[in-house]
Amino acid sequence: MLLTIDVGNTNIVYGLFDGQRLLHQFRVESSRGKTADEYAVVIRQLLAMHDIGPGDVHAAILASVVPALTEPMVELVKRAFDKDAMVVGPGIRTGMSILYENPREVGADRIVNAVAAFEKVKGGVIVVDFGTATTFDCITPKGEYLGGVIAPGVQISADALFTRAAKLPRVEIARPPKVVGRNTLHSMQSGIVYGYVGLVDGLVERLKEELGYPCSVLATGGLARLIAPLSKTIEEVEDELTLVGLRLLYERNQV
pLDDT at 32: 82
Domain assignment of residue 73, yes or no: yes
Whether residue 255 is predicted with pLDDT greater than 80 in this model: the reply is: no
Residue 30 φ/ψ, nearest 5 degrees: -70, 125
| Domain end point (choices 62, 87, 112) | 87
pLDDT for 21-73, tens place per residue? 999 999 998 888 888 889 989 999 999 999 999 999 999 999 999 999 999 99
Residue 157 forms part of a structural domain: yes
Same domain, 53 and 154: no
Whole-angstrom distance, CA of residue 11 vs CA of residue 42: 14
How many structural domains comprise the chain?
2
Is the confidence at residue 152, as pLDDT, over 80?
yes
Within 13 Å of residue 95, how many CA atoms lie on the same side as its CB?
18
CATH number (domain holding residue 74): 3.30.420.40
Mean pLDDT of the chain: 95
Identify whether 110 is part of a domain. Answer: yes
For residues 28 and 38, give the distance between their C-alpha atoms in angstroms, rounded to a whole number.
12
Residues 151 and 39 in one domain: no
The stretch 176-196 carries a mean pLDDT of 96
C-alpha torsion sign, points 52, 54, 60, 63: positive
Q: Would you say residue 251 lies in a domain?
A: no
- Asked whether residue 228 is domain-assigned, the answer is yes
Nearest to 10 by CA among 22, 25, 27: 27
Pairing label, strands 216-221, 236-237: parallel
CB atoms inside a 10 Å sphere around CB 55: 9
**Secondary structure of residue 139 in the 3-state scheme:** strand
Q: Which pLDDT value is given to residue 134?
A: 96
Same domain, yes or no: 109 and 167: yes
Say what the pLDDT of residue 34 is.
Answer: 85
Q: Look at residue 126 and tell me whether its pLDDT is greater than 90.
A: yes
Q: Are 128 and 239 in the same domain? A: yes
State whether 202 and 107 are in the same domain. Answer: yes
Q: Is residue 255 in some structural domain?
A: no
Per-residue pLDDT tens for 191-210? Answer: 999 999 999 999 999 999 99
Give the pLDDT of residue 31: 84
Q: How confident is the model at residue 161 (pLDDT cuts 50, 70, 90)?
A: very high
pLDDT for 117 equals 98
Q: Are residues 219 and 109 in the same domain?
A: yes
Global confidence as pTM: 0.92
Residue 253 forms part of a structural domain:
no
**Interatomic CA distance for residues 162 and 37, integer angstroms:** 36
Classify 201 as helix, strand or coil.
helix
> Last residue of some domain: 53, 87, 121?
87
- In which domain, by residue range, is 77 found? 2-87
Give the pLDDT band (50/70/90) at residue 174. very high
Q: Which residues are catalytic?
A: 109
Q: Does 46 lie in the same domain as 154?
A: no
Q: What is the mean pLDDT of residues 215-241?
A: 96
Last residue of a domain, one of 87, 119, 135: 87
Torsion, CA 90, CA 92, CA 96, CA 101, rounded to 10? 0
Give residue-wise pLDDT tens across range 78-104: 999 999 999 999 889 999 999 999 999
**Rounded distance between C-alpha atoms, residue 3 and residue 68, angstroms:** 20
- Is the same domain home to 74 and 111? no
Lowest mean pLDDT among 134-148, 160-174, 236-250: 160-174
Shared domain check, 83 and 190: no
Instruction: Identify whether residues 119 and 214 lie together within a single domain.
Output: yes
Check residue 91 and give its pLDDT. Answer: 86
| 229 and 133 both lie in a single domain | yes
The pLDDT of residue 166 is 87
Q: Is residue 95 part of a domain?
A: no
239 plus 135 within the same structural domain? yes
Largest Cα span, the chain: 61
